[in-house]
Amino acid sequence: MYGLIGRMLAVPGKREELLAVMQQGSVVMPGCLSYVLARDPASEDAIWITEVWDSKENHAASLQIPEVRETIDRAMPLIARFAEHFETEPVGGIGI
């Protein structure tokens, strides 16, 4: 399996709009076992994204899905910066 955990900073005051865009753009993505969006309670502009995939290749392929590309294009103006990014190797858990 392949995992990603990322912390993203929204443009000040745009976190809820960014979360809405990302939630609306969530589609079935082959190989995606878990995709979680969360507010960072320590920062009014930060969000966390946690993903679990069956493979790194399926994650890369998901970035070419038209709905995903459209969501990325709509989200980019709302993103101030990508603050942190971690790759992981999930071994199991509930829901995966």
CATH fold for the domain made of 2-88: Alpha-Beta Plaits (3.30.70)
The tokens describing 26, both together, are: 């969530």
Write the pLDDT tens digit of every residue in 2-46.
999 999 999 999 999 999 999 987 778 999 999 999 999 999 999
Residue with tokens 């993505």: 29
Write the pLDDT tens digit of every residue in 50-86.
999 999 999 999 999 999 999 999 999 999 999 999 9
The H or E element that residue 23 is part of is helix 15-24
The tokens describing 21, both together, are: 């865009």
